[in-house]
Amino acid sequence: MRTLIYIPIIHSSADMGSLSKELQNKSISGFGERKWKKHIETVNGYWEAIELYFEKIDLYIKGTNIYQDGMFVDGEMALKIIDEGIKSGSKNSEIVLKLIERGATLIKTEDYKMVKNEYDGLKSILKAKSNFKRLFFLLRYKILKPIFLIRRDRFIAGRIDATLNQNETGILFIGAYHNIIKRLPEDITVIELKEIAKIRKYQKALQSDSKMKNLQLEDLSQYLIKK
């Protein structure tokens, strides 16, 4: 039997590298400063809960594989990417480094070209100089994003299957809108640290202004930060 601990990622601006400033500005403009600050508090609380889980878990970390969203290299280059993430304030990267220091191995999880295609699509939207160009790039991204995700999901599932041996445990940090589980072999047991469905509901509620969604947002926020 093989086991995969599945951690859905709620991306923060710190995880977006060179696009972080543009993403934060767009988010504040779209959500409002008060709602955005509450979201940041939720994201921080979420990662604190994840960090505490790994501090307490009775898991033999040495030999455990780590699979990371967007990680298209391994070895020293992978460690440099994690280090850059930590410098920018990424809690995801901090947790990965702590696991590595305990003996876990960071595995090349993705294909560079696939990651770059999706990144470039998002970059075009955030850096568009006019509303017309922004709308054009947004529509194009919405059409292509499902294709990007399917290709990446197939590749990630294949990497997990190829590198996770019998009686081993893997840890997957992956964006909540990826759909990896259904693509994994049946002999891999998946443990969802937080329910993927609830994280997707949180992200949808975050983008709504209705009172009902705002109440739902508060309930889901409490679920995400629960330790």
pLDDT greater than 60 at residue 168: yes
Q: Which burial class, exposed, middle or buried, applies to 128 when counting CB atoms under 10 A from its CB (0-12, 13-18, 19+)? A: middle
pLDDT greater than 60 at residue 106: yes
In sequence order, the 6+-apart residues with CB closer than 8 A to the CB of 51 are 91, 94, 95, 98
Most confidently modeled range among 51-65, 143-157, 209-223 = 143-157
Could you tell me the pTM of the whole model?
A: 0.87
CA dist., res. 211 & res. 215, Å (int)? 6
What percent of the chain shows pLDDT beyond 90? 59
CA dist., res. 64 & res. 49, Å (int)? 20
* Average of per-residue pLDDT across 140-163: 93
Mean pLDDT, rounded, of the chain: 87
Predicted local confidence at residue 31, as pLDDT = 62
* Average of per-residue pLDDT across 50-65: 84
Spell out the alpha helix ranges (H) of the chain.
20-31, 33-56, 75-87, 91-101, 112-126, 131-163, 196-206, 211-225
Predicted local confidence at residue 64, as pLDDT = 93
Strands 105-107 and 65-68, sheet pairing:
parallel
Q: What is the dihedral of CA 210, 214, 217, 219, to 10 degrees?
A: -130
Give per-residue pLDDT as tens, 19-56.
445 455 554 455 667 888 888 899 999 999 999 999 88
